[in-house]
A and B are shown apart, each in its own frame.
Chain A
Amino acid sequence: MSAFEYAPAPESRAVVDIASSYGLFINGEFTEGSAGSLKTINPATEEALAEVAVADESDVDRAVAAARRAQEKVWGPMPGSERAKYLYRIARLLAERSREFAVLETLDNGKPIRESRDVDVPLASAYFFYYAGWADKLDHAGFGANPQPHGVVGQVIPWNFPLLMLSWKIAPALATGNTVVLKPAETTPLTALLFAELVQQAGLPAGVVNIVTGAGATGAAVVGHRDVDKVAFTGSTAVGKGIAKQIAGTRKHATLELGGKAANIVFADAPIDQAVEGIVNGIFFNQGQVCCAGSRVLVEESMHDELIDRLKARLGTLRLGDPMDKNTDIGAINSARQLQRISDLSDAGEAEGAVRWSADCAIPENGFWFPPTVFTQVSAAHRIAREEIFGPVLSVLTFRTPAEAIAKANNTPYGLSAGVWTEKGSRILWMADRLRAGVVWANTFNKFDPTSPFGGYKESGYGREGGRQGLGPYLVEGSTR
């Protein structure tokens, strides 16, 4: 089966005005940064989009001071019912300006407009709407009567879901009465800065939300600031370990959402068409740049060949190219650096003896691209079976018994997510009990919802985001560490 021909269907970028340069958002206004600027580019074309200020320690200090004042004087003492209304405003404003955010996200990140429009932005709004309702109901959340916020929260987020991760961080923090200093990723700062404008439109009191842009040094300054009470980080396990070490021996609390190497387990009795769609969604959603991506398919041996044939046929129909085109399935890789990592690990896979297959698709001349790739004959010791690739690269392994599937699935230091595909209900529940992962998707994959807690076991981090459980880490009474 070959791809249908489609006429180009580009989304208009006229809906968003990108300024030539952006400052830091501190105490309700945009201000200069002290450490120069960095350029953010469109990874699909490599064109420069804007210059963004870089915050140093003195800027972070100003932001934390503003957050502290706002927390003590305004946001902390404010009744939950009033905080709630601000969060509802933000949810509504995000929905009103959703197309603008979606276009900007796609330009800055490289993800298909179909995903930013249908997943990232609507979910971001939904997280604010969900947590808004908690702000005046915290007594009922299971953390005792009148649970208290930590104070000032430092948050550092990744580039794979820039606005969505911002909402996962800011919504529960604000609902519980904390104020925040958030650092977006250096390659995707623009939707966070547009969000700052939206914060102004919502009339949020100055200092409740502060956004400081920059690279790793800015993030380390946020995490290490002595007046930050709690840290929330989403990103790589290596950086997460560094943060845990940095705050060791202090009284800071932390939530860490780190890497993953999820097993997507397919039994021979699985509904095969749905399983193929689930595998595709599991590893090629957002170009595989997803911490909970189903990057290891474990397929029951008798089903292997049929599954691979169907998978290859399906991947042949995916459309790689202009992320702004509404028909695009696979967009650009976020950065040259990430593309290099994906290429290096894929080369290692081949060198170690796995068999590489990539979909036959034209790669645009400019920008960062990697075709959907499947490795077969992968052994559990191969780097591509052990290390997080964070790209559109799937490793396929086999198993014979459910016990072997569990052993292989759990044979990783990670434990963020897992998938199970089978028609047998009792087997699903048996598997779900034994998979050491924070989220188990059975006969589905990569589903997210504001009511549903998300987070890892083992080296995938600790703490939960989303759901009632997602309130706990932002409350003194719910911070069990």
Chain B
Amino acid sequence: MSERVDVRKTYKLYVGGAFPRSESGRTYEVTSSRGAFLANAALASRKDARDAVRAARSAQPGWASATAYNRGQVLYRVAELLEGRRAQFVADVTAGEGLSAARAEAAVSAAIDRWVWYAGWADKVAQVAGNANPVAGPYFNLSSPEPTGVVGIVAPQRSSLLGLVSVLAPVIVTGNTAVVISSQQRPLPAITLGEVLATSDVPGGVVNVLTGKTAEVAPILASHMDVNALDLAGAAESDGVTWGELEALAADTVKRVRRPEADTEPTWRTDQSIGQILAFTETKTVWHPKGM
């Protein structure tokens, strides 16, 4: 009797809550760290990037107006589902990053724990980063952080799940929506994360995942007039990408830009901070007179 032939997955983009192929019809081969064929991933085009921005913009007001408690619950639910898909993530990370089984397990565990950590900030960040201001006059005056809007993320190239979670979760926890360009060589965990998000309670369009050539898609996001901010965490090690050039493109629309911290990517083992959240928020200050 012959062995069973396994059913392989088709990896597609995740845009607006759906899984389209690239409108360009293009794909590229994804291999393991040892060069074995893993999948054909969608090779996103400029048009796919623009579609993703439109989906992110449409979803943003609704996501931002959900209560912080609700956003916290929805994101915590994602962690529950990540735990349930742990085996697949470990397999994806092992194949893509060439880690030992133990290290891949540790990376996936850290990613899930990080997601939980950021989810918990949803209804606390305004208390920690906002405050009343004792102005010299009869006025009520309150400052609080609000989401910046649509954030383009160049995901880390090496750490395909933990790195991705480390930059994505802090963006969406406050009510931003995101267009993620996944790791070019290791895109599979990002698409699997998209599948988790699609079956969770995160509304479609809050997270959009593009796979393909970073050098092709990142400049579209950097110069797009409806993108408010960029996280360039993965730009330092992207083929054919100079992060300073992306930042220069972003200057034309006064985007907030989070630069890569160094020329090489961190391990992401300890990279979680409220600063990562606040980089994609705006302080709003409201005044009102006091009177009888």
Contacts and interface: CB of A to CB of B under 8 A. Distances in A.
Contacts of B131: 467-468
Contacts of A168: none
A441 interface: yes
A189 to B, nearest CB: 27
A469 to B, nearest CB: 5
A453 interface: yes
Interface string A409-449: 00001000000000000001000110001111111100101
Interface stretch (A14-22, A319-327, A458-466): A458-466
A428 B259 CA distance: 37
Q: How large is the interface on B (under 10, 10 to 19, 20 to 34, 35 or more residues)?
A: 35 or more
A379 interface: no
Interface string A232-252: 000001001110110011110
A455 interface: yes
Contacts of A240: 254
A432 B244 CA distance: 36
23 contacts: A241-B252, A245-B251, A248-B250, A248-B251, A249-B245, A249-B248, A251-B259, A256-B254, A433-B65, A438-B284, A439-B284, A444-B139, A449-B133, A449-B135, A449-B141, A453-B285, A457-B282, A461-B254, A467-B133, A467-B285, A469-B143, A480-B275, A481-B256
Contacts, number: 119
Q: How large is the interface on A (under 10, 10 to 19, 20 to 34, 35 or more residues)?
A: 35 or more
A442 B287 contact: yes
B285 A439 contact: yes
Given A245-B248, A459-B253, A452 B258 contact: no
Contact of B254 (A241, A467, A477): A241
Nearest to B284: A438
Interface of chain B, helix or strand or loop or mixed?
Answer: mixed
A449 B137 contact: yes
Contacts of A413: 253
A441 B286 CA distance: 6
A458 B282 CA distance: 9
Given A244-B254, A249-B243, A459-B254, A440 B135 contact: no
A477 B243 contact: no
Interface of A: 126, 142, 237, 240-242, 244-245, 248-251, 256, 258, 413, 428, 432-433, 437-444, 447, 449, 451-455, 457-462, 464, 467-469, 477-478, 480-481
Contacts of B134: 451
Contact of B133 (A438, A452, A480): A452
A481 B232 CA distance: 11
A274 to B, nearest CB: 9
Interface string B259-274: 1000000000000000
User: Which of the listed residues B134, B139, B278, B288 has the most CB atoms from chain A within 10 Å of its own CB?
Assistant: B288
A250 B228 contact: no
B92 interface: no
State the 6 A-B residue pairs at the shortest beta-carbon distance, nearest first. Answer: A249-B244, A244-B251, A480-B279, A248-B247, A449-B135, A248-B248
Interface in B80-99: none
B106 interface: no
Contacts of A455: 283
B141 A452 contact: yes
Contacts of B199: none
B70 interface: no
A462 B289 CA distance: 27
A242 B252 CA distance: 8
A237 B254 CA distance: 8
Contacts of B149: 458
A457 B256 CA distance: 10
A250 B275 CA distance: 20
B128 interface: yes
Contacts of A432: 284, 286
Contacts of B242: 249
B102 interface: no
Contacts of B217: none
A449 B283 contact: no
Nearest to A452: B133
Given A444-B139, A451-B135, 12 more contacts: A244-B251, A248-B248, A249-B242, A440-B286, A442-B288, A444-B289, A451-B134, A452-B135, A457-B148, A457-B282, A460-B254, A481-B259
A32 B263 CA distance: 42
Contacts of B129: 142
Contacts of B258: 480-481
A232 B243 CA distance: 22
B136 interface: yes
